[in-house]
Each structure stands twice: as C-alpha cells, then as structure tokens.
Amino acid sequence: MDGRITTTDRMQLNQILMGTRTPVPMMETIYDFSSGAGSDRWAKRNNVAAPPPALNETFDTDPTGWVEATSSQYTNISAGDGDVWTIAGVSGNYTALQCKFTVAEGAYAGKITSIGITFNGSSQDSGDLLKLWVWNISAGSWRQLGSDISLGNTSNQAYIKWTAWGKVYADYIDASSYMYILYAHDTSGKYLNVDYVKLEIVSPE
C-alpha cells in the first residue's frame, strides 16, 4: 500500500488468503505518450543552468527555453521500441526533460498510495547520473523520487523508481488534474537518449 513490503504486509496477505480479512482492490493507471501527445500529455526539453528549475511554470510559459517535442519525437518516446529522442547537451548546462500529464485521479489524490516513474534510455557516457523529480504543488518545489540512476551508454535500458512516502499525494496533482515529472541529467553538457517514459499511479479507488 505504501510501496514498501514489510512483515505487516505478509501478515495481511495471510489473513486475506485465510478469509479473515477483506482485500482492498488497488487500481493502477499508466500514463505515457502512446496517446494524447500534445493535447493532454506534453513533453518539453531544455538545458537548465541548475536542475531542478525553480518553478514548474517555466514548462507552460517558456521564458527559459522549454521546447515541446515534435510529432516524431513524441512517437519516439511513446514505446520502448529502440527509437530515441536525443536531447542535445549544452556546455555548462544540464539536459532536462519535463512532462505534464493530465491524470484522472484528481478526486482521489489524497488516497494515492504510490507513484512510479519509468525512464527507458541511455546517456552520453556510461555511469552518467539521472535524477527523477515530481512537482509538489503545495510546497512549490520539486521532490526527488528515489536515488540517482546510473545510466548506460550503449543500450536503452529501463529504469523504474517508485515512491515510499506514504499517503501524501494530494500534493502532486493540481486543480487542473496536472502532474509534472522532471528527468534531469546530473552532469552538465551531456546528451540524453530518451526511448520511453511512463508515469504510474496506484490508488485503492
């Protein structure tokens, strides 16, 4: 329920199997760019001076150079098929990809038990680090999801991070049902090959 498997979870599972506890159905929703690209799901790239950027509004108002994916770039990141969107690095800046997803969980935001983010791709050099972030609307800041990811440079591997924060997810879906996700390179000047990105939300309703 909270992204962490413990002895309590095993005890509850045993109770469910013995019929002494009622299971709570969990709903998992997946958002990617296989549909809705450019209409209710957006991806933009930038090279930022220091990740993460201070405000998520830069995604929509473009004052610092956020550039939306082209139709072919959306296609490249819509499935883990080996077709990549290569985001070029700029010397002294950090490659970043920001995604805005329209999600259907707004009414149940406070009940969300876990958020998962997938990055399928590679980097310029083996061992380059990537950070995954989720925008916290209440705090007005980015929150890193999990630890840094060490990327390979020769194959488009899948890297998945899940939260273990407890039920605090009303902070991550705004009044317009948007969620903001940020993939930010941790080494300046490096390009990033993006094959597939995905957002997953788990909720009991």
Model confidence over 136-159: pLDDT tens digits?
Answer: 988 989 999 989 999 988 778 889
60: confidence class by pLDDT, cuts 50, 70, 90: confident
pTM: 0.85
Residue 200: closest CA among 136, 116, 132? 116
- State residue 143's pLDDT score: 93
Place 18 in a pLDDT band, splitting at 50, 70 and 90: confident
pLDDT of residue 4: 56
Q: What is the pLDDT of residue 56?
A: 55
What pLDDT was estimated at residue 55? 64
pLDDT for 167-186, tens place per residue?
889 999 999 999 999 999 99
Would you place residue 16 in the very low, low, confident or very high pLDDT band (cuts 50, 70, 90)? Answer: confident
pLDDT beyond 50 at 1:
no
CATH numeric code, 26-203: 2.60.120.260
